[in-house]
Chain A
Amino acid sequence: MDFSFTDEQNLLKDSVERFVQNDYGFEDRQKIVRTEQGYSADNWNTFAELGWLGVPFSEEDGGFGGQAVDMMLIMEQFGRGLIVEPYLATVILAGGALKIAGTAEQKAAYLPGIVDGSKQGALAYAEPQGRFNLADITTSASKDGDGYVLNGYKAVVLNGPAADFLVVSARTSGDQRDTDGVSLFIVDTAADGVSRRDYPTVDAFRASEVTLENVRVSADALLGGEGQGLAVLEQVIDEGIMAVGSEAVGCMEVLYKDTVEYCKTREQFGQPIGKFQVLQHRMVDMFMEHEQSKSLMFMAAMRMDEGYDDAAKKAISAFKVQVGKSGRFVGQNAVQLHGGMGMTDELNIGHYFKRLTIIDTLFGNVDYHLKRFGAH
């Protein structure tokens, strides 16, 4: 048992931390958010140059063979900076599906582009009726000669607007919620029959509603075994939870620290409000919620790195439950203690609150993961 980081991990953490501190101030971020694209291509290139886009991929795939702990370190810092570049969608979700289930050819076709920053991806897994059930899929993929024809509708596809390709979950057999019969396909966003309706999300990311109408793909678009896609999807989503959960831990750290600083300086009745015990205990509770979440983050990352089994799934769900609860508590109280200013878009606080709120929903909220935790 050892909670220390390797030298490489410390270097990685320091480099992301430096970027966030020096190049990603709140004003910089707000400028990026208001652009047409919604993220900075310059920053994306910087990520590529610094090697961050290749961290989770094996060395033979052009990456660095990083593990959950490495992703955790990156995402925690991204959370502190409230980074809007589509790292989650491209590297962790779409890239993750390829990493887990891709053939050598598929990896060769997509991973180098992800690692060098030239390709954007997205995971189109959710459907309007499905809530958090990954198997609740009505999108169909029917055999058509050597290939497949896809029809259906995918909801809230993160990074849909920028994506060059989608990893789509579709049903090759079985009924709407069957665990068997789910298959994954790599679909070019420029393919005939793919249409999108793009929009910004509450937390300043970009997403699309994607309609697939008689989209023809060849047999080599099938990612993983036919009908065997659900297990892959579940693992990718759990890696996504590890990522956004770590991001949430970074968000909470900023919120509790900024709130403490604010309350030390903001005066009422001739004294700093940070002197009032009722507010002090609230801030102590915020600090404790952050540490509690961080502790389960470490456990989840270490369990994931021991192998993706039931213990890892349980640790991921426990982490997600904690982050959902703590994120809500820390976010709400940061707004409350900042008073009216906490409500404004001018201050960073509300933006962190929005991101934490969305993170609770992403990949299953507290309610969902309490049940999943109990089932494992």
Chain B
Amino acid sequence: MRLALSPEESQLVDAVEAFLADHFKPVADAPLGLAATLTPVRVPHPWFDALCGAGWSVPGWPVADGGTGWTRRQHWHFERLLAQAGAPSPASVATTFAGPMLLAHGSDEQRRRLLPEIRDLQVAWCVAVADAKTTTVSKGEMRGVKAWVAGAGSAQWALVWAQGWWVVPIDTPGVAVEPVPMMGNQLDVCRLHFEGVAVAAWQRIACDDRQWQAPFHPAGWTRAARLAHTLQRIDLLAGENGGALAQDADFRRERNALEVAVASVQALELRAVDAWAGARDSQPLSLVAAVKGVQAGQELSALAARSMGYYSLPYPDALLLSNEGVIGHELALPAVQQMLFDRAWSLHTSAGASETTEQLKNRVAAQVLGLPEDAPQGD
């Protein structure tokens, strides 16, 4: 049992750290501040081009298709270091879901036409599964409405479940993207309308499993590293005005308890990674890490927002970026937005499926503790 890295791990860590130093510049030297939050990093982007240049765009893919051939531990270190630096990961719906599905089930034509752009981080994808109105394909035309499509506003391609999986370019005539406004104005969630969208046979993927699961990706075990950023933001806020808040005993207790919680999430993630790297069952630990990570994250971002006092009031809106400058505090908008946005975490935990924390606990009760099923588990 040791925390020290093996030579194989050290080598990778050194390379990634050097790469980050060369290519990743936190926005305006204030990675926790407003500018960083309001400048979403979308493909294509120089940072992603740099990752492609290094050959690190799709580490977990087969080497022949652009993968790195890293060990699982190395792959996780790569994701961890990016998360620690606050750098966007190349892991996305495109690289971790659409790509792997095409690798597993795609036709030669699909692979030839779609995989290179995904590998080169030139396109964004979204996945449309849940029906708002049943989506069907009949006589070469797709009709229906999909709900809860994350990232549709900036995607070029959609992977659509309509009695089978289909690939559909978002700009096909008949596809309409309807944004669903969300608390905090931050989350890009849409309804996708398909009104007589022409689809050709080549767009159908030979996979009939609506519940198809992508291979596990280690980016899911980097939550602790990202939570550390929220903690930094809290410490920055608390240190202002002569540290009036930082010296408050109640505040300190809550803050320290949350730092312990983050440490425990990190430890759970490390154990999950260790199990995964050793090809043992990482699922139970991964579920615990997800639930505890969500809890700690929501409490942290709520503390950050509360730390703002009155300047948590101005509504997160583009007005704040008017020429007259920021209203209130540079850190207020990210803190409040994050708090609002984070409520979604317990509705959509990232332990390999979009489940609420309650559904996830049902799964632990049945699969880990062997308890008899109570209510229907739902989907």
Q: A280-B374, A284-B361, A288-B292 are in contact. Are A69 and B260 (CB under 8 A)?
A: no
Q: Does B111 contact A (CB under 8 A)?
A: no
Q: Which of A284, A298, A301 interacts with B369 by CB under 8 Å?
A: A284
Contact A296 B267 (CB under 8 A): yes
We find that the number of chain B residues with CB closer than 8 angstroms to chain A is 43
Q: A residues within 8 A CB of B371? A: 260, 263-264, 274-275, 280, 283
Looking at chain A's contact residues, the main secondary structure is helix
Q: A residues within 8 A CB of B285? A: 291
Q: Does B328 contact A (CB under 8 A)?
A: no
Cα distance A143–B2 when bound, in Å?
Answer: 45
Contact A374 B264 (CB under 8 A): no
Whole-angstrom distance between the Cβ of B359 and the nearest chain A Cβ: 11
Whole-angstrom distance between the Cβ of A246 and the nearest chain B Cβ: 13
| Max chain A C-beta neighbours (<10 A), residue from B3, B273, B358, B370 | B3
Q: Does A269 contact B (CB under 8 A)?
A: no
Contact A287 B274 (CB under 8 A): no
Q: Does A302 contact B (CB under 8 A)?
A: yes
Over the window 1-17 of chain B, the binary record of Cβ atoms lying under 8 Å from chain A Cβ atoms (1 yes, 0 no) is: 11111100100000000
Q: A1-B270, A260-B371 are in contact. Are A322 and B260 (CB under 8 A)?
A: yes
Q: B residues within 8 A CB of A5? A: 1
Contact B9 A260 (CB under 8 A): no
| Max chain A C-beta neighbours (<10 A), residue from B266, B358, B364, B370 | B364
Per the 8 Å Cβ criterion, residues 211-270 of B in contact with A are 252-253, 255-257, 259-260, 263-264, 266-268, 270
Whole-angstrom distance between the Cβ of A70 and the nearest chain B Cβ: 10
Q: Does B302 contact A (CB under 8 A)?
A: no
Whole-angstrom distance between the Cβ of A121 and the nearest chain B Cβ: 28
Q: A283-B365, A288-B292 are in contact. Are A306 and B3 (CB under 8 A)?
A: yes
Residue of A nearest to B285 (CB): A291
Over the window 273-293 of chain A, the binary record of Cβ atoms lying under 8 Å from chain B Cβ atoms (1 yes, 0 no) is: 011110011011101100110
Whole-angstrom distance between the Cβ of B93 and the nearest chain A Cβ: 28
Q: Which of A1, A305, A315 interacts with B73 by CB under 8 Å?
A: A1
Residue of A nearest to B76 (CB): A1
- A-B pair count, CB < 8 Å, reads 128
Over the window 283-305 of chain B, the binary record of Cβ atoms lying under 8 Å from chain A Cβ atoms (1 yes, 0 no) is: 01100100110000000000000
Contact B374 A1 (CB under 8 A): no
Q: Does B271 contact A (CB under 8 A)?
A: yes
Q: A321-B257, A373-B259 are in contact. Are A280 and B362 (CB under 8 A)?
A: yes
Cα distance A292–B284 when bound, in Å?
Answer: 12
Contact B291 A280 (CB under 8 A): no
Contact B291 A321 (CB under 8 A): no
Q: B residues within 8 A CB of A322? A: 260, 264
Contact A274 B372 (CB under 8 A): yes
Cα distance A264–B274 when bound, in Å?
Answer: 32
Q: Which of A3, A274, A283 interacts with B270 by CB under 8 Å?
A: A3
Q: Which of B1, B5, B263 interacts with A296 by CB under 8 Å?
A: B263
Contact A280 B274 (CB under 8 A): no
Q: Does B319 contact A (CB under 8 A)?
A: no
Residue of A nearest to B3 (CB): A302
A contact residues vs B (CB 8 Å cutoff): 1-5, 9, 69, 260, 263-264, 272, 274-277, 280-281, 283-285, 287-288, 291-292, 295-296, 298-299, 301-303, 305-306, 315, 318, 321-322, 367, 370-371, 373-374
17 contacts across the A-B interface (CB closer than 8 A): A1-B5, A2-B6, A2-B274, A3-B270, A3-B274, A277-B374, A280-B371, A283-B369, A283-B371, A284-B364, A287-B288, A288-B292, A292-B268, A295-B268, A295-B271, A296-B260, A318-B264
